[in-house]
Structure 1
Amino acid sequence: GTYIERHIQSNPDLYGPFWIALTLAFTVSICDNIVTYLNQWRGDEAAAAASFEANQHLPLCSTAVNGSTTASCRTEPAHFGSAAAVQLHHNPLAFTFEHLHLSMLITFSYVTLAPLLLWSFCQWRACGKLYSFLECLCAYGYSLAAFIPVAVASLLDIRELQFILFACAAFMSGS
């Protein structure tokens, strides 16, 4: 028999699917905040390195030209020829609740609308095996558990791996 017939049909519940969807929404939101912070940190570091490299050709301010100091000069001598000498000031990692609201809206809409559309299509086509809407909602909610580790793995900045993991989770969820 199918998963619904073996595990859900005797006692469909919404407890597990609710907590799985909530966990997925929080995980996506937290990982999004971390990725945003890391991208900002990488951007600050790249901008500081570019500023440091652009500043290398300028003379020190103490260099005099015709009795006056130069108009554009660097304030400190270059240390060790690397961007490590530039001190970066980072903002601390902060959790933004706007991401959580959006993540919860998308996750819970997906958890309810996809089974509703599937159940409605099966009702319209008069399929041989008809499951109740509650059974479809329960099975679909449990199937989203595969996306939780994929959301955590999205912290890795390897697009090909992210795509493969997401495709595997979508296949596992759909099957």
Structure 2
Amino acid sequence: VMASPHELTFQEFEEAADLLSSNPGASTLSISSPGAAAPSDVKVDLSEDEDDQQESSELLGGEKQTGGFWTFEYYQSFFNVDTMQVLDRIKGSVIPLPGRNFVKHHIRNNPDLYGPFWICVTLVFSVAISGDLYTFLFNMGDPGHHYRPQFNRVSIAAVTVFLYAWLVPLGVWGFLMWRQSVESHISSYTFLETVCVYGYSLFIYIPTSILWTISVYWLEWLLIVIAMVISGSVLVMAFWPAIRDDTKLTAFATMAVIVSLHALLAVGFKLYFFQTPTHTGSSHSGQQTTPAANHTTLTVGKHQ
């Protein structure tokens, strides 16, 4: 049985018409005749795909805009780290390896204030309490010494540590920005990256201040040298790549100032909070010389 020509032609179904009427922006492809031009008949809607691609590129590129400085989201980005990242950065500040820049290998364009803040707080109490304990242990055998907790040391340590952790990075960052404006080939870090490097470099002074309670003169200064070498190496390896393309005099002078200020902080801790009392030694010497003088007087009396 031969089919009629009417049965062999393509027909439009009502279901397809209903789908197109409910979603007019859907992708459609119509073929009217074999000889028709294909590009003119193809209609594709890519508006939603372009929006998704744009959002993905913003997330990958880190260009997602946050709120203003008066919003909570603005400050939340400064503490966007987890425990493993903080521990990795502390490890990098205690074990600096040659050729490993702390900013590039540990911060990785994600500086934080969480770790530096708690390091500074811990250092304040560690230095103040350890210094008070050092004085108590040194005078423990002296019956004339009355122990009095010196709570003012906490305030002095807090002012010293936080001023150093903010003002010195501010000065270093400002100097690098100025040199970058003078010499275009000089690289620089952001202020938050500079504060982050300085904050983590102070961690080594926490165990060092605890070990300073051991009242051994040569050991105390040996610990200072070790702490200064470790923390100073972190700063040098972090800031030397940013300043090495400058003139030799400027580069070496900048590194010398950074290391000197860091060493001055450690020496200041030792001389103020862990100083050896002098009045105790004089009282002991006075108790030793008085019996000797009385013995001399008695000997002279016998001869007379």
TM over 0.5: yes
Distance in 2 of aligned mates of 1:108 and 1:118? 16
Which residue number in structure 2 is paired with residue 129 of structure 1? 187
Question: 2:218 is matched by which residue type in structure 1?
Answer: E
Partner of 1:109: 163
What is the deviation of 1:94?
5.4
8 Å Cα contact 1:13/1:138 also seen in 2: yes
Shift of 1:8: 1.3
Q: Which runs of 5+ in 2 are unaligned?
A: 1-99, 234-304
Q: What is the alpha-carbon distance in structure 1 between the residues aligned to residue 109 and residue 179 of structure 2?
A: 25
Hey, what's the Cα distance between the residues in 1 that align with 2:187 and 2:162? 26
Structure 1 unaligned spans of 5+: 48-89
Are 1:141 and 2:207 an aligned pair?
A: no
SS of equivalent residue, structure 2 residue 188:
coil
Q: Residues 1-175 of structure 1 correspond to what in structure 2 (within 5 A)?
A: 2-42=101-141, 44-45=142-143, 91=146, 95-126=149-180, 128-175=186-233
SS at match of 2:140: helix
Contact 2:170 2:191 in 1 (8 A): yes
**Count of residue correspondences:** 130
- Percent of aligned positions with the same letter in both sequences? 38
TM-score by length of 2: 0.40
30-39 vs 97-106, which deviates more?
A: 30-39
**In structure 2, C-alpha distance between the alignment counterparts of 1:142 and 1:128, rounded to whole Å:** 24
The whole-number CA distance in structure 2 between the counterparts of 1:41 and 1:136 is 43
Larger radius of gyration: 2
Q: CA deviation at 1:10?
A: 2.1
Q: Distance in 2 between matches of 1:160 and 1:129?
A: 41
> What is the Cα deviation at residue 102 of structure 1?
0.6
> What is the TM-score with the length of structure 1 in the denominator?
0.67
List structure 1 runs of 4+ shifted beyond 4 angstroms.
Answer: none
Q: Given residue 130 of structure 2, which amino acid in structure 1 is its aligned partner?
A: C
C-alpha distance in structure 2 between counterparts of 1:105 and 1:24, whole Å: 12
Output the CA distance in 1 between the equivalents of 2:134 and 2:223. 17
Contact preservation (8 Å) 1:12, 1:138? yes
CA distance in 1, matches of 2:155, 2:120: 13
TM-superposed deviation, 1:106: 0.6
Higher RCO structure, 1 or 2 (CA under 8 Å, sep 6+): 1
RMSD: 1.9
